[in-house]
Structure 1
Amino acid sequence: MALKVFSGAMQMPIPSKLTTYLQPSHLNSSPKLLSNTKGTSRSRLRVSCSSSQLTTERRSGNYNPSRWDVDFIQTLHSDYKDEKHARRASELVTLVKMELEKETDQIRQLELIDDLQRMGLSDHFQNEFKEILSSVYLDHGYYKNPDPKEERDLYSTSLAFRLLREHGFQVAQEVFDSFKNEEGEFKESLSDDTRGLLQLYEASFLLTEGETTLESAREFATKFLEERVNEGGGDENLLTRIAYSLEIPLHWRIKRPNAPVWIDSYRKRPNMNPVVLDLAILDLNIVQAHFQQELKESFRWWRNTGFVEKLPFARDRLVECYFWNTGIIEPRQHASARIMMGKVNALITVIDDIYDVYGTLEELEHFTDLIRRWDIDSIDQLPDYMQLCFLALNNFVDETSYDVMKEKGVNVIPYLRQSWVDLADKYMVEARWFYGGHKPSLEEYLENSWMSISGPCMLTHIFFRVTDSFTKETVDSLYKYHDLVRWSSFVLRLADDLGTSVEEVSRGDVPKSLQCYMSDYNASEAEARKHVKWLIAEVWKKMNAERVSKDSPFGKDFIGCAVDLGRMAQLMYHNGDGHGTQHPIIHQQMTATLFEPFA
């Protein structure tokens, strides 16, 4: 039965303990609950209170202004909005479908699917992909227990395994047993098959818990691929792909922002198909034109909030906030969801700065209490900057709920409010840690921070915009923070900590996962980084299982968004803080995705 009206907000359960993922493999004892070393003080602002002539000492994040010119963005115009480009793209899609249909070599079919996916074109060909992959699945017996004595080709087996698992087919890891020797190890003779090793490496990241063969495959392939890169020589395009994959594997990479890289790589290949290349370039520019229109609408809302002028301590990061959604909300039909999530991310950024940078403990206690009660009548008890923020938040929740009611006939006000209550509660925990000088253990930190990173708040909003219909049971599972939401948020938290924690702690923030681990185990920063990266890999195993779970209460589009949130986090924080401090590499990728037509 479809859910029609939601009444009353729920009390959210505390997430289960995470001790399984805390202890490093080289230690046998349980994690120690040790205090961490103190970070250096943040910069301070002394703000005058005119009514009492007292001064309030406040922290400052010393954030730079936005790099983006608002007037330039509002005047953006792309010729690719014209209908003639959409007609040409449709013609090219038809031609590529014909290419897929006439190709009889299944390896070439798989390679074409792989290329189309990398270049951001997969949503045009879902039916064709399903038909081809189903044939491969049946023709090669991937549906049954594999015979370890059956002769297989490493390249094609690995490519098929990865694509089949990506599309939800159940394929046993034992398909790779035929590449092992009598001792159960991968044969050394495979080291000469560089293309096969690259595919084996990529396939290994589709593993779930307990799949030791895929663990061994990753270690084996990584060793020889790193040797190939260090040696150099040979196919430069292949070596570039290997280095790119060793940096971040394909399964962990977000599609849309990385599409220009793959298009550029594809055009250099001697066997590239010019029709496919033309479609990839045209489609990328058409999508960019849509992104520009969505961004302009988001900017109009942002300017109307007055946050830039009235809350100068907060980060002005609307472009970054929207950019997240070019990767997370991939299906092009969900434009309204991307626009909404640009606003959600901007509100999260401002509220995070209120808790993390500007608000006093007393102000934050009042602010959190008012959000819990969602009491507009008590807003005068807050300072002006908090009043402005809460009114903007309230207006956003009401407007978003109105849109959902209009489109789907469901009242989601209590649920969206609950998303912000849960986030504020977690922010408040960390504020108390800071003002009380508390240094949490890694376990205590992660128990709170997988929610304070805002992943659940983001995903609950996304759910209501990308899901066509849903039951009360589905929404209840969402707000109990289903494992899909949990693991996606964990990747977001851990990736963020790798990219931002050293800088944040140097400003006086509470310790992040790196610092907590260093304190718990008297470890170096390098050891802590290694452990957090290991944690990310462990969480991905769980997310891989949830992504294709037959028992999942969620639809395909929402599951894709949840997984892509983790991927987008690994893009944004791979080279540092791509959100808050505007890392130049991310700045370049945003420019390519949003502003510069691809030629």
Structure 2
Amino acid sequence: MGPSIATPVPAPVFHPTVWGDYFINFIPEPLQISDENMAERINRLKEEVSGMFQARKSVVDKMNLVDVVQRLGIDHHFEEQIATTLANIHSSEFNCSNLHEVALRFRLLRQQGFWVPPDEFDRFKNEDGSFKSCITNDPKGLLSLYNAAHLLTHKEVVLEDAISFSRSHLESLRSSLKPPLADQVIRALEIPLPRTLKRVEAISFIPEYSSAQDQTYSPAISELAKLDFNLLQHLHQKELKEITRWWKDLSGEIGLDYVRDRIVECYFWSYTVHYEQANARARMMLAKLFLLTSLLDDTYDVHATLEEARELNKAIERWDENDVSLLPEYLKKFFVKMINNFREFEDELEPHEKYRNIYNRKGFQTLSKCYLQEAEWFHQGYTPSFKEQMNVSVITAGGQVLSIGLLVGMGGVATKEAFEWAMGNTDIIRACGEVSRFMDDMSAFKNGRNKLDVASTVECYIKEHNVSSEVALAKIGSFVEDAWKTINQAPFKYPTLLPVVQRVTSLAKSMTLLFLDKRDAYTYSKDFKNTLENHFVKHISI
């Protein structure tokens, strides 16, 4: 028997926010140049860099330009030029015996939705299918191969072999390498470049690019990257001030002292999907949705009785703020505030966009229904089968609701087709949820889950297959890799939705960062503070 449905349950103790009112009172360090002058200088540099796409004549020079611009995080200024350049590269013949260049072309094209077959790497193999020993002395080429191979799709054994081969040799070589290559190898062995968030790579790559000054170096590109990062950081700091105030008002009014107070972390999560100035509206709306889903999660998981959870879900299904008589006082306030926030989302949309909020609400209602199912299982003392657990917990991991939510504030690419696609929990949306669910559950298994959490995918797998935790964790880890193969397939499967696919992929990348090495940098955010300071507090020296 589970606990009585009428018995209040004790709340776990989440550590308090490490930020408090920091961003409300934050005064950024003065820069050598004002925002207005910085924006003017950025526009001049953008024109100069834009001209480079025409000026570079060889395929290798063009590839290096695209790679540098993307890794420095300034590709959002040159989307058309990059698309045109890569289309031309894809249609051009490319006969090359340089491993780095072949792998770079493979990675850049696949990321952009241009299909490149894995047999491109056959030229680096022996007749028996093994990789030639001569490439083991080429660390730059091995690193490029390792990163490129992580764009593999299902049944691409050649690329699986390439990952194993290159990882093994990079691990043995890394202690003998010099910066910046040594640092890039360390980063890639932790998180491969195709799974690394743009802003995270930019923070590391900007100083590396400036200091290396090899044949790919351009002072204009370097300056643009630094100025653009700092100008955007000023915008992000203003938004953090605004959203911290929003959260302070919200939490003060509803008084949910049992929840994770993580507004800066929610903003970071949203920023990893939408960091550009043009997506300010989308970024703020998604950050708020992240927080609202987190509040709902904690309410179902760690505080509400089963009867309260049932009534809350009924209220969310009806979506009527006047129909809350059966809810306890603390949930009445929460529910009304939640509805008000969804109304505010709609108010921010143009008349022709307002239909988007219907999808937003439906995604939230689906999430609530699945949270309730987990609560039912817990209170009944029921351990679901692995398949049952997956069908529900992939939704509660947030892939679907957040993939819908990231579209709501976007511009023209957020079409009705895109919303239907996200709402339908298509393969990449589900795969994003799988990355989140499996990584979260492996973290919870390592760190200990909440007392009121239903059995995780790891525990269900152990019970169903009667295996050790080591075997189960290895299997769940392989499911993460399978999900990434599905995500990698999406640019070719949904070419008309490529900009949306790339945002959903960023959502999966954010999960990879937050749950790296079986940590949970959202729930246990103290150790993540330094990372957030690098993004939101420390500017980059010009």
**TM-score, reference length from structure 2:** 0.92
- With 541-550 and 71-80 compared, the bigger mean Cα shift is at 71-80
Give the AA of the match of 2:222. L
Contact 1:151/1:178 (<8 A) preserved: no
Corresponding position of 2:525: 582
Corresponding position of 1:49: none
Write the distance in 2 (CA, Å) between the matches of 1:308 and 1:219.
53
Corresponding position of 2:443: 499
Write the distance in 2 (CA, Å) between the matches of 1:344 and 1:236.
40
Corresponding position of 2:270: 325
Asked if 1:159 is matched to 2:104, the reply is yes
Unaligned runs of 5+ in 2: none
| Alpha-carbon offset, residue 335 of structure 1 | 0.3
Following superposition of structure 1 onto structure 2, how do residues 564-583 of structure 1 map, counting pairs within 5 Å?
564-575=506-517, 576-583=519-526
Give the AA of the match of 1:592. N
Cα distance change, pair 550–503 in 1 and its aligned pair in 2 (3 A)? closer
243, 267, 289: which one aligns with 1:344: 289
Following superposition of structure 1 onto structure 2, how do residues 297-446 of structure 1 map, counting pairs within 5 Å?
297-307=242-252, 310-404=255-349, 406-446=350-390
SS at match of 2:140: helix
Give the AA of the match of 1:260. I
Write the distance in 2 (CA, Å) between the matches of 1:410 and 1:314.
30
| Alpha-carbon offset, residue 100 of structure 1 | 4.1
Write the distance in 1 (CA, Å) between the matches of 2:523 and 2:353.
37
Write the distance in 1 (CA, Å) between the matches of 2:361 and 2:89.
47
Corresponding position of 2:184: 241
Deviations 1:333-365 (A, max 9, x none): 010111111111111111111100010111111
441, 459, 464: which one aligns with 2:403: 459
Cα distance change, pair 399–179 in 1 and its aligned pair in 2 (3 A)? same
Corresponding position of 2:150: 205
Contact 2:363/2:401 (<8 A) preserved: yes
SS at match of 1:169: coil
Corresponding position of 1:60: 11
Asked if 1:559 is matched to 2:512, the reply is no
Following superposition of structure 1 onto structure 2, how do residues 191-270 of structure 1 map, counting pairs within 5 Å?
191-229=136-174, 232-270=175-213
Cα distance change, pair 136–183 in 1 and its aligned pair in 2 (3 A)? same
Deviations 1:541-576 (A, max 9, x none): 111111332465x3x432221110000111111141
Give the AA of the match of 1:596. K
Write the distance in 1 (CA, Å) between the matches of 2:40 and 2:293.
39
Contact 1:330/1:561 (<8 A) preserved: no
Cα distance change, pair 70–412 in 1 and its aligned pair in 2 (3 A)? same
Contact 1:154/1:197 (<8 A) preserved: yes
| Alpha-carbon offset, residue 255 of structure 1 | 0.7
Cα distance change, pair 279–350 in 1 and its aligned pair in 2 (3 A)? same
Q: Over aligned residue pairs, what C-alpha RMSD do you find?
A: 2.5
Deviations 1:115-135 (A, max 9, x none): 221111111222332343233
Cα distance change, pair 550–119 in 1 and its aligned pair in 2 (3 A)? same
| Alpha-carbon offset, residue 86 of structure 1 | 0.5
- With 251-260 and 474-483 compared, the bigger mean Cα shift is at 474-483
Corresponding position of 1:133: 86
Cα distance change, pair 589–403 in 1 and its aligned pair in 2 (3 A)? same
Write the distance in 1 (CA, Å) between the matches of 2:309 and 2:407.
29
Cα distance change, pair 90–78 in 1 and its aligned pair in 2 (3 A)? farther
Unaligned runs of 5+ in 1: 1-37, 45-54, 142-149
Write the distance in 2 (CA, Å) between the matches of 1:191 and 1:592.
35
| Alpha-carbon offset, residue 332 of structure 1 | 2.9
| Alpha-carbon offset, residue 308 of structure 1 | 7.5
Write the distance in 1 (CA, Å) between the matches of 2:358 and 2:81.
41
Cα distance change, pair 219–355 in 1 and its aligned pair in 2 (3 A)? same
Cα distance change, pair 102–476 in 1 and its aligned pair in 2 (3 A)? closer
Give the AA of the match of 1:421. Q
Write the distance in 2 (CA, Å) between the matches of 1:531 and 1:135.
41
Write the distance in 1 (CA, Å) between the matches of 2:147 and 2:160.
12
Cα distance change, pair 409–270 in 1 and its aligned pair in 2 (3 A)? closer
Corresponding position of 2:458: 514
Write the distance in 2 (CA, Å) between the matches of 1:478 and 1:456.
6
Write the distance in 2 (CA, Å) between the matches of 1:165 and 1:388.
48
SS at match of 1:170: coil
| Alpha-carbon offset, residue 481 of structure 1 | 1.8
Give the aligned length. Answer: 535
Corresponding position of 2:67: 114
Give the AA of the match of 1:433. W
Cα distance change, pair 402–280 in 1 and its aligned pair in 2 (3 A)? same
SS at match of 1:579: coil
SS at match of 2:493: coil
Write the distance in 1 (CA, Å) between the matches of 2:286 and 2:320.
24
Write the distance in 2 (CA, Å) between the matches of 1:503 and 1:223.
29
Give the AA of the match of 2:267. Y
Give the AA of the match of 1:73. I
Give the AA of the match of 2:473. R
Write the distance in 2 (CA, Å) between the matches of 1:75 and 1:199.
40
Cα distance change, pair 472–154 in 1 and its aligned pair in 2 (3 A)? closer
SS at match of 2:323: helix
| Alpha-carbon offset, residue 220 of structure 1 | 1.6
Cα distance change, pair 103–521 in 1 and its aligned pair in 2 (3 A)? same
Cα distance change, pair 117–472 in 1 and its aligned pair in 2 (3 A)? closer
Write the distance in 2 (CA, Å) between the matches of 1:450 and 1:262.
34
Give the AA of the match of 1:109. K
4+ runs deviating over 4 angstroms = 77-81, 469-474
SS at match of 1:63: coil
Write the distance in 2 (CA, Å) between the matches of 1:327 and 1:151.
35
Deviations 1:482-512 (A, max 9, x none): 2232222221222222333433426452222
Corresponding position of 2:222: 277
Give the AA of the match of 2:233. Q
Write the distance in 2 (CA, Å) between the matches of 1:513 and 1:169.
35
Give the AA of the match of 1:178. R
Cα distance change, pair 240–285 in 1 and its aligned pair in 2 (3 A)? same
| Alpha-carbon offset, residue 242 of structure 1 | 1.1
Cα distance change, pair 499–118 in 1 and its aligned pair in 2 (3 A)? farther
| Alpha-carbon offset, residue 110 of structure 1 | 1.7
Higher relative contact order (CA 8 A, sep 6+): 1
SS at match of 1:376: coil
SS at match of 1:375: coil
Contact 2:112/2:491 (<8 A) preserved: no
Corresponding position of 1:598: 540
Give the AA of the match of 2:500. F
SS at match of 2:523: coil
